[in-house]
Structure 1
Amino acid sequence: MLMKKLICFFNLCLLLVSCGHKSQVSLVSLVNPLMGTESTFEFSHGNTYPAVAVPWGMNFWSPQTGENGSGWMYTYKDSLIRGFRQTHQPSPWINDYGTFSIMPVWGELTMDNQKRGMRFSHENEKAAPDCYQVKFDNGVSTALSATSRGAVFEITYPSEEGQYIVVDAYQHGGSVVWNKEENCIYGITHYNNGGVPENFANYFIIEFDKPVVESGTDENSCAYVKFQLEAGEKMTVRTASSFISHDQARLNFNREVAGRSLAEVSAEAKKIWNDQLGRIQVEGGTHEQQKTFYSCLYRTLLFPREFYEFDSDNKPVYYSPYDGQLHGGYMYTDNGFWDTFRAVHPLFTLAYPEVSGRIMQSLVNAYDESGFMPEWASPGHRGCMIGNNSISLLTDAWMKGIRTFDKDKALEAMLHQTQARGEIASVGRDGYEEYDRLGYVPYPEVPEATAKTLEYAYADWCLARFAEATGNQEIAKAYYKKAQNYRNLFYPEKGFMWARDANGKWRDNFDATEWGGPFTEGCSWHWTWSVFHDPEGLSTLLGGHEQMAERLDSMFTAPNTFNYGTYGFVIHEIAEMVALNMGQYAHGNQPVQHAIYLYNYVGQPWKAQYHTRNVLNKLYNSGPQGYCGDEDNGQTSAWYVFTALGFYPVCPGASEYVLGSPLFNKATLSLPGGKQFVIHAENASEDNCYIRSATLNGKNFSHNFLKHEELMQGGELKLIMDCVPDKERGVKPEDAPYSYNK
């Protein structure tokens, strides 16, 4: 009898231990790297690829289903894999650079990328941030994991005949050389799509743990090696690379992958991911919502990438994509700030401030090396998008206490950014002379002029804010004045932002649904809201709070019609807006993503609560069609992360987060110094999206915003959620978030 009791007690202990272990869910297991991969040129569900990487890693690895040179590297509906590719691609529209691929081939040797693809099915594919595995239809198996600058593969073949690996350096003058003594390949790839100096190269080493019995090359920067292993025998392939030299690549190899197994590298990558994802812990909601949340957080933590390495003294060094020289310090790249200033970088300042600090140093370094800060870098300046949002990044970081950069040099860089234009229009300020003379950028004299005016006015506010905070009052005064230039393109007779020429004449044939022309990837319905720093001033132009709320309402109820304007055809952003069937609201692109939160500025916060929850539930999922447009370097993902927590940084630089409706019952932010900020959303459910009452650290809280310092001090925001809106809470003027003209 005693023995039976002991056995029962022992089994109960095992059960408790098992249950306790089960509750510690690996956050990596919730991530689906295939989210958003079912995309095409005509319609984007994310335009993503399954990146095997560590957060902000110098290199990513991905299966490649598309042909060499295609921006659509991996498409979910494809049935062939043509290689496993070291990639730096931030977007299919920007494409790749410094890339090479490793591909097992079985049977007849085929080196050409169009012909060497092997069939696979998603049933035999497993994608995770730390490891990708696939068993091809012909029985060949490949698994890989990555460090920041290296990777480890395991490959098996189903029989002893015809075992090859093809290494592809992607033409552009690349080379691949077999070194028999070291049983490895030394390669150089020059592949790029712009944004590089003449001496740009990526130097790589590939080492095999099994003997090579034959090797060769072709005229297309490809090489092959042949093996003779037993059927099912596991072969390990290790690789690392450098943008500096083969010697540095060997240093990276020895430091990160030498002698290490796939399991070891994968376990380390998994730990890194769990640590970084674990800075934001959510509880409650559905399993699918948690998968979507952590898949979005994974995407947010990929870019910008580290473009630096560590020398023999373990000091950070980098090859500059701006001047082609070697420098000490930090460099980051592969980011379009037009997208990511909105939510990605504010999330870093909150949850990953040490990374934000290095990125800010990188911006000033780029100014030193090229004369301009980057706005779209991959790896150097690229001719894409508009605005001076590097200024937003520096200002937001400084206002939140991130002081890792030289403030005087930063101000010098900011001022220059607004007073000059580089060789390509996206560098510096296109139309700066007209903007300073007229108070707006004229159209048609300057393309996308109205969008640029709105962007510049916000950047001017950021610059003024930074100048004021660093003791430069005269500069601040001048730029606060320029920050009001958005008013000059508000068309009072129509109630929308529009375009004027250099003589002050309004553009003919007003059409709020016309895309392109004076706007960037949108129409006046979207760009009218781009006054991040002064929603109160915008509401005055619109006639007051009630009128602005009505205009916001009408955005969701207007017909989802469009005029494709100067684009000349239905660009994918238009097609995606129409497919949403949410009126003129186009969440699949960035200009309008903050607009829902503007209800908080005009005394109707319950509408922000309704619409944010509606977008979370309807427009995102963790599958291959998980996004409603381009994911864009983490921005569309960061919108989800912030909004699911219940707040969003409408105006980076203001150090405030505007409230929405938390998706989860509980979320815990782990902050520097061991502090935590907890958001409790009691009764949160699919129906209960409205805030009935709120307390902050036990005190009644009626504001529609949280201050950054309130979060960083740690504490608790407790919300009681309901299925009916409370139209009395958050309606006082003092409850509204920051506006310059408040």
Structure 2
Amino acid sequence: MKFKPSLLACAVLSGLVGLTGCNDDTTNIYEGGDTNPALPDIPDGGKPVCPPVGDGDCDDKPNPETPEIDMGVHIPVDFADMDVTRYVNPFIGTGNLGNTYPGATTPHGMVQLSPNNGSNGWEYISGYYYHDARTSGFSHTHLSGAGAGDLNDILVMPINSRSDYMIDEGSATLNLEASRFQHRDEQATAGYYKVDLLDYDIKAELTASDRVGVHRYTFPRDEKSEIIVNTGFKINWDYTSDSYLKWDKDNNRLEGHRFSDGWAPSQKEFFVMEFDQPIKNVRFAYYDKEQGRYMDVPEGITEIGDETRGKYQYARAYVEFDTSKDGLTVEAKLALSNVEIGENGKSGASLNMTEVAGMNFDQVREAATKKWEDELGKIQVSGDEDYKQTFYTAMYHSYLGQTIHSDLDGRYRQVHQGRNAYPDGNTPWGDKIDTLKESIRTADANKDGKADFTRYDTFSLWDTYRAVQPLSSILEPDRLADVVLSMLSYAEEEWVDDKGNVRKGRLPEWTFKGNETGMMMGMHSTPVIHDVLSKGSLEKRMIDLGFTEAERKDVKERLVEAMITDARAATSQGVAWIKEYEEQGYVPAQLHDTPPDSYGGHSPFKDSWTASYSLEYSMNDWAIAQSIKEVFGEEDPRYTEFANRSKNWQAQFDFGGKQYQGWFKARDYDGEFIDAGWVDPITGRAVGKDWRPDMFNWAFSESNGWQYSFSVQHDIHGLIDLMTRFDKTQNPEAERGDLFAARLDEYWSTYPDRNAGDNQFPVFNTGNVGQHVQGNEPDIHVPYLYNYVGQPWKGQAAIAAATNICYKNTADGICGNDDFGTLSAWFVFRALGFYPVNASSGIYEIGTPLFESASIDVGNNQKFTVTAKNVSRENIFIQSARYNGKDFNRTYLTHDEIMYGGELEFVMGDKPNQRWGSLEQDLPPAQGIGEFLHEDEMPAGSR
């Protein structure tokens, strides 16, 4: 099979890599020349195309009070034993849209101890925005890279009498003692953060274990120095629903809780806080709504809260220490639990505190560094130093989700299935305390009182299934198996709804801190479960844990049954649109019957994202079918049922519409395609009646028709076949793949005009190369699709372009929401030279490597090494390849080839070799299953 380069293809490559000239030769067809002015000059670097947000855009904009500084890695130079963590720069992504945080945590830690600026807004979703040079304290929970705001629990701030600087905007959210700082006085690396608080002349340092945040404050001499513990602090969607504080004088500690509502509808955080210096005094304050400010409570009270001692709301404690001598250092440890406060180190937060028993700040920090070294050191790279910083930081960010939810004894608070998760109005409140072992195994509980394995949550699955979990599958398969066991416990939890009915839970969709939010779409636990079933990592993990053969079989069967339960309307617990999808083979859309002005112009559709639901559910069906085959066998009739359902994506493909035929579109209940519904995402007003793929449309999630046009990751060959069938209706001489390849070319060369009102992108669409959006998830797999039509050289150019437009070693160095490491994990795969288009398939499409050498520790004393001779920022094209010493022309790897160890060698050049990977036997294999729709069954009309 040979795909001929088109003139459009030549223009695309010219724009992507700054090369011009085109002929029919199969090697080195491009010579030097001017770049296409419509596309970025990639070899010289690119600037992300981002909308202005607050006072920052895609360029660095230091706060006016802060001098411009070098955005290198801010780490102490005197800290030893930092091999790869010295390259981690936690400030990457803290400016503009990345929404990451710079503070201290461990891999997948329950605690994320990080600074807060003290303000609300899109820029402050993680609590910290690089271009704001104020600090209101350090809270213990944070979201990394999310697009919605919550957490920031238990704010701690050291102060003294030297300043009365406040962030005071008249609400309980604020009224905060704060300090200014300068970025040159900040340091951060994996597991450590430090800043000098200029208004108080206090040095603040943070580190953490899995469940404990550890503070160290160095005070100057002052007549009154305090550490504020604030349970009322809230920002963005979150608000405090109940707070409690108690001073335990006998044990020199504080304890308390913070309950909150918001994006997480019922979050409960209990804590214990210990100090290494004697407490001089504790005074309490509460928020007085009538006064609009905080008020001190009477002296002598040692505990306050919403339901305690007069219902004092938004409780704060001011813990005073004797700083009559200069340089007093106070170390404070704060342990979290979602179960209870506990006592005497036996349960809850009190038990979790034993995690750092007998350890001082430096020892905890050293332990955190070792954990990060152990994880990040699984990949050793050599080459470009700047890329190494971006790479190891990206790896670091990929470990910030899938966080620990259970205490040291394995107990955790059952998931609260939130109001967004169950649209029928039955809102459960899952306050049952459970242990993971009891939820999963039928054997007796451990005699030692500790859990065999860890319960995890914080699953941003619509994002992370694409890259984070596949990376975990290679680097930490045991932990990913624990994640899937956690998912099963979610599905099997029981609760009583407000009508008295006993109901079961569901597999996670978007959960954090024991709450199902119902955010986004899809059943994306399914590819993660399929991953551990098909690759054997769950089986291995259960064997290591001592599960019997019968227990292992039982767990795997229950996992598959849980997926099927969610995917069937008769048994599903709140999975959106599953009834309509099951009945009609797609999720139908409806237009409003009235003009845009009558419904505010938000969207002509009554319901959003319907076409995206259909495409993503069909991929979930593929994962379910393959899991049924893995566990029950292909002869199980449910395999055929879900295999056929995995072809439902075809029902969204318009063969005969009035506008732009041959695209995925919204479809109504009568089966007619909808050629209207375009809106301006900036103004929210309908701007046209005609369907166009380059305009934002509410039929697609955060995207347009272009970005979802390739969202059939589980059946790319099927999509090529369907597009070819359509192409032949227009051009009988068309060959297989012609339209697919041409549309890919057009996708990369059709650049959005952001000044035009009729093709604006939504705020999520950032990091653009043509219609490609590297700053959001729906189309991050698209650069690798050229492999399916024998043109991997174009994909190599596209990957380089997407890299240069989106990633850099600065605070603004991630061009969109990182979404718990998804964009970062993409970069890790990209740098290694391969990426899983179909996340759980075990197939990794080859792209273009970034480093001279990358060695992956895949376990069992095996390493998989990728070398790239002559690689550079210009030499992005594969000239030849060898695998374990033999010529290698395939454009994909298998999971087994990686995990068995070996060496993949590339020779790179600055011009494409169109021969490499171009033959039919070189293409990634077909993965689609189920029966293809017959031509006479394809929808013929639209309106």
TM-score by shorter chain over 0.5: yes
Counterpart in the other structure of 1:401:
536
Q: Which of 26, 31, 34 is 2:83 aligned to? A: 26
Write out per-residue CA displacement over residues 691-725 of structure 1, whole angstroms, 9 at most, x where no aligned residue.
11111111221111000011111111111112221
Mapped pair 1:560 → 2:560 = no
Give the match's secondary structure for 2:195.
Answer: strand
- Between the aligned partners of 1:91 and 1:680, the Cα distance in structure 2 is 31
Judge conservation of contact 1:98–1:201 (CA < 8 Å) in 2: no
Counterpart in the other structure of 2:433:
326
- Between the aligned partners of 1:635 and 1:729, the Cα distance in structure 2 is 30
Is the deviation greater in 157-166 or in 391-400? 157-166
- Between the aligned partners of 2:854 and 2:326, the Cα distance in structure 1 is 50
- Between the aligned partners of 2:219 and 2:762, the Cα distance in structure 1 is 44
Q: Which of 349, 374, 382 is 1:283 aligned to? A: 382
Judge conservation of contact 1:421–1:429 (CA < 8 Å) in 2: no
Is the deviation greater in 513-522 or in 634-643? 513-522
Counterpart in the other structure of 1:590:
777
- Between the aligned partners of 1:709 and 1:669, the Cα distance in structure 2 is 14
Q: Structure 1's 304 and 68: CA in aligned 2 closer, same or farther, altered over 3 A?
A: same
Is the deviation greater in 327-336 or in 652-661? 327-336
Counterpart in the other structure of 2:362:
263
Counterpart in the other structure of 1:372:
506
Counterpart in the other structure of 1:35:
92
- Between the aligned partners of 2:804 and 2:488, the Cα distance in structure 1 is 40
Counterpart in the other structure of 2:281:
214
Q: Which of 397, 410, 417 is 2:559 aligned to? A: 410
Q: Which of 298, 303, 308 is 2:406 aligned to? A: 308
Mapped pair 1:132 → 2:230 = no
Report the Cα offset of residue 93 of structure 1: 3.7
Write out per-residue CA displacement over residues 444-500 of structure 1, whole angstroms, 9 at most, x where no aligned residue.
264311000000111111111111122343111111111111111112342221111
Judge conservation of contact 1:297–1:641 (CA < 8 Å) in 2: yes
Give the match's secondary structure for 1:218.
Answer: strand
Judge conservation of contact 2:242–2:259 (CA < 8 Å) in 1: yes
Give the match's secondary structure for 2:241.
Answer: coil
Judge conservation of contact 2:889–2:922 (CA < 8 Å) in 1: yes
Mapped pair 1:497 → 2:664 = yes
Is the deviation greater in 342-351 or in 157-166? 157-166
Write out per-residue CA displacement over residues 335-386 of structure 1, whole angstroms, 9 at most, x where no aligned residue.
2111000010011111110110100101111000142101100232103101
Mapped pair 1:735 → 2:922 = yes
Equivalences for residues 455-494 of structure 1 within 5 A: 455-473=616-634, 474-493=637-656, 494=661
Report the Cα offset of residue 571 of structure 1: 3.6
- Between the aligned partners of 2:319 and 2:586, the Cα distance in structure 1 is 61
Counterpart in the other structure of 1:687:
874
- Between the aligned partners of 2:518 and 2:563, the Cα distance in structure 1 is 19
Report the Cα offset of residue 656 of structure 1: 0.8
Q: Which of 87, 97, 100 is 2:141 aligned to? A: 87
Q: Structure 1's 638 and 519: CA in aligned 2 closer, same or farther, altered over 3 A?
A: same
Write out per-residue CA displacement over residues 4-61 of structure 1, whole angstroms, 9 at most, x where no aligned residue.
xxxxxxxxxxxxxxxxx9998621110011111112xxxx1x1111131000001111
Q: Which of 215, 222, 230 is 1:160 aligned to? A: 222
Counterpart in the other structure of 1:419:
568
Equivalences for residues 517-536 of structure 1 within 5 A: 517-536=698-717
What is the count of residue pairs matched by the alignment?
702
- Between the aligned partners of 2:353 and 2:518, the Cα distance in structure 1 is 37
- Between the aligned partners of 1:299 and 1:421, the Cα distance in structure 2 is 39
Report the Cα offset of residue 613 of structure 1: 2.1
Counterpart in the other structure of 2:940:
none
- Between the aligned partners of 2:251 and 2:524, the Cα distance in structure 1 is 48
Higher helix share: 1
Mapped pair 1:61 → 2:113 = yes
- Between the aligned partners of 1:381 and 1:569, the Cα distance in structure 2 is 32
Letter in 2 for 1:491: D
Judge conservation of contact 2:272–2:350 (CA < 8 Å) in 1: no
Counterpart in the other structure of 2:737:
545
Q: Structure 1's 212 and 564: CA in aligned 2 closer, same or farther, altered over 3 A?
A: farther
Equivalences for residues 638-657 of structure 1 within 5 A: 638-657=825-844
Counterpart in the other structure of 2:696:
515
Q: Which of 92, 99, 124 is 1:47 aligned to? A: 99
Report the Cα offset of residue 665 of structure 1: 0.7
User: TM-score, normalised on structure 2?
Assistant: 0.72
Report the Cα offset of residue 738 of structure 1: 2.8
Judge conservation of contact 1:134–1:141 (CA < 8 Å) in 2: yes
Gaps of 5+ in 2: 1-77, 169-173, 233-239, 287-313, 417-429, 437-453, 494-503, 543-551, 591-605, 676-689, 725-735, 930-943
Q: Structure 1's 72 and 654: CA in aligned 2 closer, same or farther, altered over 3 A?
A: closer
Judge conservation of contact 1:98–1:191 (CA < 8 Å) in 2: no
- Between the aligned partners of 2:353 and 2:712, the Cα distance in structure 1 is 50
Letter in 1 for 2:322: Q
User: TM-score, normalised on structure 1?
Assistant: 0.90
Counterpart in the other structure of 1:721:
908
- Between the aligned partners of 1:91 and 1:126, the Cα distance in structure 2 is 20
Q: Structure 1's 684 and 570: CA in aligned 2 closer, same or farther, altered over 3 A?
A: closer
- Between the aligned partners of 2:372 and 2:873, the Cα distance in structure 1 is 29
Q: Structure 1's 371 and 151: CA in aligned 2 closer, same or farther, altered over 3 A?
A: closer
Give the match's secondary structure for 1:670.
Answer: strand
Is the deviation greater in 677-686 or in 511-520? 511-520
Give the match's secondary structure for 2:129.
Answer: coil
Counterpart in the other structure of 1:237:
332
- Between the aligned partners of 2:908 and 2:152, the Cα distance in structure 1 is 50
Gaps of 5+ in 1: 1-20
- Between the aligned partners of 2:165 and 2:249, the Cα distance in structure 1 is 22
- Between the aligned partners of 2:763 and 2:571, the Cα distance in structure 1 is 29
Counterpart in the other structure of 2:460:
336
Q: Structure 1's 194 and 35: CA in aligned 2 closer, same or farther, altered over 3 A?
A: same
Q: Structure 1's 23 and 115: CA in aligned 2 closer, same or farther, altered over 3 A?
A: closer
Q: Structure 1's 422 and 168: CA in aligned 2 closer, same or farther, altered over 3 A?
A: farther
- Between the aligned partners of 1:63 and 1:290, the Cα distance in structure 2 is 26
- Between the aligned partners of 1:421 and 1:29, the Cα distance in structure 2 is 53
Mapped pair 1:272 → 2:371 = yes
Counterpart in the other structure of 2:472:
348
- Between the aligned partners of 2:654 and 2:754, the Cα distance in structure 1 is 20
Q: Structure 1's 239 and 115: CA in aligned 2 closer, same or farther, altered over 3 A?
A: closer
Q: Structure 1's 565 and 411: CA in aligned 2 closer, same or farther, altered over 3 A?
A: farther
Q: Structure 1's 421 and 666: CA in aligned 2 closer, same or farther, altered over 3 A?
A: farther
